[in-house]
Amino acid sequence: MRSHYCGELSSSHIDQEVEICGWVHRRRDHGGVIFIDLRDREGLVQVVYDPDRSEIFSIAEHVRNEFVLRVKGRVRPRPEGTVNPDLPTGEIEILGLELEVLNRAETPPFQLDEHENTSEEVRLRYRYVDLRRPEMLEKIRIRAQVTRSLRRFLDERGFLDIETPMLTKATPEGARDYLVPSRTHPGQFFALPQSPQLFKQLLMMSGMDRYYQVVRCFRDEDLRADRQPEFTQLDIETSFLSEDQIMDLNEEMIRQLFKEVLGTDLPNPFPRMTYDEAMERYGSDRPDLRVPLELIDLRDLMQDVEFKVFSAPAKDPHGRVAALHVPGGCKLSRKEIDAYTKFVGIYGARGLAYIKVNEAAKGRDGLQSPILKFLTDAAVEGIMQRTGAQDGDLIFFGADKTSVVNEALGALRVKVGEDLGLMEEGWRPLWVVDFPMFEWDDNHDRWTPLHHPFTSPKLDQLELLESDPGGCKSRAYDMVLNGVELGGGSIRIHLQEVQQKIFKLLEISDEEAEEKFGFLLTALKYGCPPHGGLAFGLDRLVMLLTGSSSIREVMAFPKTQTAACMMTSAPSEVGMDQLRELSIRVRKPQSEDSTA
């Protein structure tokens, strides 16, 4: 139907007859002539219809935005003074010789260039209109380029793309499963995978050696900020490699990706930081290294002050007292500081102490702070020395349970960094390593795995599993980029006795282990190789690469915060006969039914 894409035409086509197809982006009548900007996937081109071809002209007159046209015409240079340097095709236009309306269009629910004034709800309902915007097309295109690049990298290194089931057994990731009732096994259910974790481990036991998959995963969670019920992972697993080899390979892949897609050189190698150091310096296990601010520990300085707000957590082994030194922070107004106090409250902090350094040389008199009076000279001096605060700077304080201080100051660090324009440009990847195996779950009074229960402990710390589970580190690693966790993985447990020990420590009973993971424990008995891998969140990766503000922007048909599709109206009610076939029925919220 066409000889060229609209967007690929240029001066090199002048005097050629071309055929193009596309959508009417704009139509203007000007001086008795009709100008149509025709749009396709590759861009826009201007088509001109003169009134001297009256039959075609009258068709052109009735054309409206988003009509689908087929145009035959001759490429010519634009008249002097009408060249549009902002448009790749801006040097030329097409003199329309033929015109066929392939399809009409009603006035669209919003004009493409007015999408910013359109609610996201309307844009999602008419997603096929929103996706026509060149910015959206570009994101979809980059997403395809990303998966292509990643696949090629892995293909070239002997990784096999292997598909794992979607209708599977409830997975152990800990989030809520999406369930699928079985018709042929009444009363039983499949679960949609939260990840192919166990399948990829079984593939290693099958001798596949190197596996990858770009795979859909599902989590039925309450959708916070930027989650989707279904999302895509680049899932990778290898046998007989150490964690260093796996990390090297994966950072090489990401470096190549950034080079190909953005032309950017990421650092080689990525810095590696232990979990403990990341928490200590940034209050986060996915620190945004673009923010130059760091948390500074004050425990030793505060243990003996009389100010209980500081001394109590300083004395508590589960507490922390830390400072965040903000260069130039004196300019923050009382109101702004109040807003930050509210902000850290989200993370459980009960206040936000601070010191403004007006004139350091004056000692106490040069400082301004509501808490100054509670601190000894030695403490104040220690703070000034350790933070290195200069005139005009501000010091924030966090003092609470360690987790609260880390979360509050960690988040404040990024927020203040953004607000004060301290953020560096560019890409700051790193690996976070040496994670704890377990964290203590106060609610259930037991240990829970920080990653998942198949993560291997450090080989030289196996005895800590019994003596000090909290001190035992795992062979896990996370790749972090600009404060976003891009991917994470670990060396897995390949010895059945270690796996059983972990289940025991997690207070998973033999029966429960057998019921949930029996097939894994059995498989471990028949010759399981040492193995490990990684999974990347593809949506987040593409979001970063395209500079998008949400993963919804990089999915063709995303769902809303309530896990619904505005376009198709899914989920929806289904017929009674369908449910009957599946041996289920809907439980009406009002009806209390004790038999169920």
* Least distance between a copy of itself and beta carbon 137 (Å): 7
- Which C-beta is closer to a copy of itself: that of 33 or that of 160? 160
Task: Please check if 537 is assigned to a binding site.
Answer: yes
Distance, CA of 531 to CA of 540 (rounded, Å)? 26
Task: Please check if 328 is assigned to a binding site.
Answer: no
The torsion of the CA quartet 26, 30, 34, 37, rounded to 10 degrees, works out to: -30
Q: Which of 35, 49, 218, 347 binds a copy of itself (CB under 8 A)?
A: 218
Does 495 bind a copy of itself (CB under 8 A)? Our answer is yes
Q: Which two tokens stand for residue 442?
A: 């106060």
* Least distance between a copy of itself and beta carbon 148 (Å): 6
Distance, CA of 309 to CA of 312 (rounded, Å)? 6
User: Do residues 527 and 205 touch, judged by C-beta distance below 8 A?
Assistant: yes
Q: Restricting to residues 77-106, which ones interact with a copy of itself according to CB under 8 A?
A: 102-106
User: Do residues 247 and 255 touch, judged by C-beta distance below 8 A?
Assistant: no
Distance, CA of 153 to CA of 259 (rounded, Å)? 13
Q: Which stretch binds a copy of itself (CB under 8 A): 88-96, 295-303, 473-481, 549-557?
A: 549-557
Q: Restricting to residues 150-189, which ones interact with a copy of itself according to CB under 8 A?
A: 151, 155, 160-170, 176-189
Task: Please check if 538 is assigned to a binding site.
Answer: yes
Distance, CA of 77 to CA of 65 (rounded, Å)? 25
- Which C-beta is closer to a copy of itself: that of 143 or that of 325? 143
- Which C-beta is closer to a copy of itself: that of 172 or that of 488? 172
Q: Which of 9, 18, 23, 409 binds a copy of itself (CB under 8 A)?
A: 23
**Rounded to an integer, what is the distance from CA 101 to the centroid of its chain?**
42
* Least distance between a copy of itself and beta carbon 547 (Å): 19
Does 127 bind a copy of itself (CB under 8 A)? Our answer is yes
Residue type present at position 20: I
Binding mask 101-120 for a copy of itself (x = CB under 8 A): -xxxxx-xx-----------
Query: Which residues lie below 8 Å from residue 80, measured CB to CB, with a gap of 6+?
Result: none
Nearest Cα neighbor of 321 from 353, 368, 366 is 353
Q: Which of 28, 62, 141, 259 binds a copy of itself (CB under 8 A)?
A: 141
The values of phi and psi at residue 183, to 5°, are: -80, -40
DSSP-based three-state secondary structure for 127: helix
Does 261 bind a copy of itself (CB under 8 A)? Our answer is no
Task: Please check if 216 is assigned to a binding site.
Answer: no
Q: Restricting to residues 230-249, which ones interact with a copy of itself according to CB under 8 A?
A: 230, 232, 239-242
Binding mask 519-548 for a copy of itself (x = CB under 8 A): x---x-xxxxxx------------------
Task: Please check if 26 is assigned to a binding site.
Answer: no
Task: Please check if 221 is assigned to a binding site.
Answer: yes
Task: Please check if 120 is assigned to a binding site.
Answer: no
Place of tokens 């290898």: 238
Site residue total, a copy of itself (CB under 8 A): 125
* Least distance between a copy of itself and beta carbon 135 (Å): 12
Does 205 bind a copy of itself (CB under 8 A)? Our answer is yes
Distance, CA of 462 to CA of 469 (rounded, Å)? 9
Task: Please check if 533 is assigned to a binding site.
Answer: no
Does 148 bind a copy of itself (CB under 8 A)? Our answer is yes
Instruction: Please state, as a whole number, how many other Cβ atoms lie within 10 Å of the Cβ of residue 344.
Output: 23
Q: Which of 26, 53, 78, 216 binds a copy of itself (CB under 8 A)?
A: 216
User: Do residues 66 and 108 touch, judged by C-beta distance below 8 A?
Assistant: yes
* Least distance between a copy of itself and beta carbon 232 (Å): 6
Task: Please check if 539 is assigned to a binding site.
Answer: yes
Query: Which residues lie below 8 Å from residue 304, measured CB to CB, with a gap of 6+?
Result: 311, 376
Nearest Cα neighbor of 266 from 578, 545, 550, 579 is 545
* Least distance between a copy of itself and beta carbon 202 (Å): 5
User: Do residues 395 and 360 touch, judged by C-beta distance below 8 A?
Assistant: no
Q: Restricting to residues 38-67, which ones interact with a copy of itself according to CB under 8 A?
A: 39-41, 66-67
The alpha carbon dihedral of 503, 507, 509, 515 has a sign of negative
Does 574 bind a copy of itself (CB under 8 A)? Our answer is yes
Q: Which two tokens stand for residue 161?
A: 């793309």
Distance, CA of 59 to CA of 97 (rounded, Å)? 12
Task: Please check if 173 is assigned to a binding site.
Answer: yes
Distance, CA of 222 to CA of 57 (rounded, Å)? 55
- Which C-beta is closer to a copy of itself: that of 33 or that of 574? 574
| Annotated binding-site ranges for L-aspartate | 173, 219, 451, 492
| Annotated binding-site ranges | 173, 219-221, 228, 451, 485, 492, 537-540
| Annotated binding-site ranges for ATP | 219-221, 228, 485, 537-540
